[in-house]
Structure 1
Amino acid sequence: MIERKNAASKVFYMLTVFIVVIFSLSCLLPLVYTLALSLSSKEAVASGQVGFFPVGLTLVNYKEIMKDMQFFLSFGIAVQRVILSTLIALAVMIPASYALAKSKKEFAPRNVIMWICMFCMMFSGGLIPWYMTMKNYGLINSVLGLAVCGGLPIYNMILMINFFESISKELEEAAIVDGAGPWRILFSIVLPISKPIIATIALFTIVGQWNEFFQGYVLSTKINYYPLQSYIKQMVVQIDYSTITEDQFASLANLSNTALNSAKIFVSMLPILVIYPFLQKYFVSGIMLGSVKE
């Protein structure tokens, strides 16, 4: 009987590993294919010879990116946007979530504010009122406008509220006995033990803001103000061949638009690939503690 259970456990374990490996490959292979395209020659890409390994290995596409100043300008705008939006979101969300995690007895307007937040999460004012609001506040062609245009992410706030509600009340009661006020409790007790949910919310904000491109189109009237993903989205450029030099024409002839775009896409993914491992250790615990309430 015990041997049968052990055999069943091994089968279940192997099946689980197989499923996880398949899902992992489904996420990894598109990234590998994009990298292979970016490192392949123009002829190989045009003829469809590229699979998961480069054909006609070349760095010409990455050298061309180094000459594209607009790419790096948009890259810098995207970095500023991510930093600002993350700091603003956490600065607003942490005190709001801490207050809303209190009971109605401790914070009387709690239920009313929660209903308003839930309503705003379900229904929006529409694109035109949103744009008019951003314009009236002078947030067109502004990094600050790109950072705050998404508003307060209610779903993330709900996760943080649930996390704060799971913190033992005895900790706060002990601090109150020692004479600590609400702000002292928040900064000295609650935040130090809230690293998992803060890292999780920061990761959600970073990934969301880095990959967002539509708002960059709406809030930027010139390409110089485009964040990186908006710039990559409109990479189909019309070239006036009557004005380029012979050397420039020779350079363009050696490039594949698909391979060059793949190189830009791969470079744009690198920051997220670098940041994610540092926050991943907090991710699972942050989601579980922020979504389950005892």
Structure 2
Amino acid sequence: MPTSTRSAGTLIFTVANYCFLGIAAALCLFPVLHIVAVSLSSAGPAAANEVVLWPIEFTMSSYSVLVSKASFLTSFGISVERTVLGVALNTTLTLLMGYPLSKTSKELPGRNVYMWMLVFVMLFNAGLVPNYLLIKTLGLIDSIWALVLPSAVPIFNIILVMNFMKMLPREIEEAAYVDGASYWVSWWKLILPLSKPVIATIVLFSFVMHWNSWYDGLIYMNDNKNYPLQTFLYTVIQEQDITSIEQANEATSVNGVTLKAAQIFIAMVPILFLYPFLQKYFTKGIVIGAVKG
């Protein structure tokens, strides 16, 4: 094939590829821009579905209504505390369980039994009532631990970590064992540094799960002062006295539509800030050049 023909084909493919990816990116970005525009618009245009990508009758009233409530900052702090504790606990337990399960049955006696138990509890759940009774019996109602401990061991994440560590070259650990390293030393100094991509993945999964959870706060918290942010925002939308909020000099600026849009955007912001810092690990080479010969 002539070079000119090959170059023309490559150019056409490149242009088509960029066009396709640009359209896909625009489709992903459109809902975000729409939500932001609605949250910054007045109640009338938002209720009439006139807002598309640009705010109409720009106003910050929806955010003011949410932030002005006395319990907003408290619930925000609870969500931050829950997310920090939850991500730290999830990541630690996942890595501690995933590493030994990545070994063979000879290295870890009973490995198949452990795997069967993990798969079983991942597929079958006791249900809402037994879980609530367990949390109540343990005295965790209205406690931050009621939001953290029930999801402390994410089975799906453990399977991800286990499969990832299985793919790492055995020669690396064998060389460390020859030099006198123990399993703990190998895990800390070799496996974890090579596992940055999967660690970033499970951190992101855990962060999203804890930050977006609202139902468990509604169940395990009897006092609304202990609500995490998502539960608090849910109750704001569901309040029966929402009209009294709107009538407090906000009647022409706020309604359920703009409040919901503001709620969605507030919930989205932390994830939008976190993802760029973790994204590089998804595409980075893992063990290129780690094993020679």
TM-score over 0.5 (shorter chain): yes
Name the TM-score, length of structure 2 as normaliser.
0.87
Counterpart of 2:69 in structure 1 is 68
Task: Label 1:240 to 1:15 Cα distance change in 2 as closer, same or farther (>3 A).
Answer: closer
Query: Measured at CA, do residues 137 and 260 of structure 1 come closer, stay the same or move farther in structure 2, by a change above 3 Å?
Result: same
Per the TM alignment, residue 240 of structure 1 is displaced from its structure 2 partner at its CA by 8.7
- Pair 94,286 (structure 1): closer, same or farther in 2 beyond 3 Å: farther
Kindly provide the amino acid, as one letter, of the partner of residue 22 in structure 1. Answer: I
TM-superposed deviation, 1:223: 1.9
Instruction: String of CA shifts for 1:7-43, please: whole Å, max 9, x gaps.
Output: 4444443343333333322221111111111211233
Q: Does the 8 Å contact 2:45/2:56 carry over to 1?
A: yes
**Residues 285 and 75 (structure 1 numbering): CA distance in 2 closer, same or farther, change over 3 Å?**
same
Aligned to 1:256: 254
Q: 1:73-131: per-residue Cα shift (whole Å, max 9, x none)? A: 22211111111111111111111111111111111111111111112112222222222
Does the CA-based 8 Å contact 2:101-2:108 persist in structure 1?
A: yes
Match of 1:292 in 2: none
Q: Structure 1 residues 15, 216: closer, same or farther in 2, change over 3 A?
A: farther
- Matches of 1:130 and 1:211, distance apart in 2: 20
Check conservation: 1:38, 1:263, Cα contact below 8 A. Answer: yes
Hey, which bits of structure 1, 4+ residues long, moved more than 6 A? none
CA distance in 1, matches of 2:201, 2:285: 6
What is the alpha-carbon distance in structure 2 between the residues aligned to residue 62 and residue 162 of structure 1?
44
CA separation of 1:75/1:250 partners in 2, compared to 1, >3 Å: closer, same or farther? closer
Distance 2:188 2:76 in 1: 34
The corresponding residue for 2:204 is 203
Distance of 1:133 and 1:283 partners within structure 2 = 38
Q: Does 1:274 align with 2:273?
A: yes
Deviation of 1:4 after TM superposition, in Å, equals 4.5
Q: How many angstroms apart in 2 are the aligned matches of 1:126 and 1:43?
A: 43
CA offset digits 1:229-248 (Å, max 9, x no partner): 2222232222298xx79xx8
Structure 2 residue ranges without an equivalent (≥5): 289-293
Q: Which one-letter code corresponds to 2:250 in the other structure?
A: L
Partner of 2:241, secondary structure, is coil
CA distance in 1, matches of 2:187, 2:87: 19
* Bigger mean CA offset, 249-258 vs 46-55: 249-258
How has the CA–CA distance of structure 1 residues 205 and 240 changed in structure 2, closer, same or farther, with 3 Å as cutoff?
A: closer
Alignment deviations for residues 182-206 of structure 1 (CA, whole Å, 9 cap, x no partner): 1121112211222111111101110
2:291 is matched with: none
**Equivalent residue, structure 2, for 1:146:** 147
Is the Cα–Cα contact under 8 Å of residues 62 and 253 in structure 2 kept in the other structure? yes
Whether contact under 8 Å (2:89, 2:152) holds in the other structure is no
Structure 2 CA distance, aligned partners of 1:81 and 1:148?
10
Aligned residues between the structures: 285
- Aligned partner of 2:238 in structure 1 is 236
Match of 1:58 in 2: 59
Q: CA contact under 8 A between 1:82 and 1:209: conserved in structure 2?
A: yes
Question: Which residues of 2 match residues 68-217 of structure 1 at below 5 A?
Answer: 68-217=69-218
Tell me the CA shift for residue 283 of structure 1.
2.5
Instruction: Give the superposition deviation at 1:65.
Output: 3.1
Amino acid at match of 2:240: Q
- Using structure 1 for the length normalisation, give the TM-score: 0.87
Aligned partners of 1:22 and 1:205: how far apart in 2?
30
2:45 maps to 1:44: yes
* TM superposition shift of 1:60: 2.6
Of 2-11 and 22-31, more deviation after overlay is shown by 2-11
> What do the CA deviations read for 1:30-72 (whole angstroms, capped 9, x no partner)?
1111111121123322333211101111223333333122222
Contact 1:200 1:286 in 2 (8 A): no
Q: Secondary structure at the match of 2:109?
A: coil
Distance in 2 (CA, whole Å) between partners of 1:87 and 1:230 is 22
Q: Which runs of 5+ in 1 are unaligned?
A: 290-294
Contact 1:141-1:219 within 8 A present in 2 as well? yes
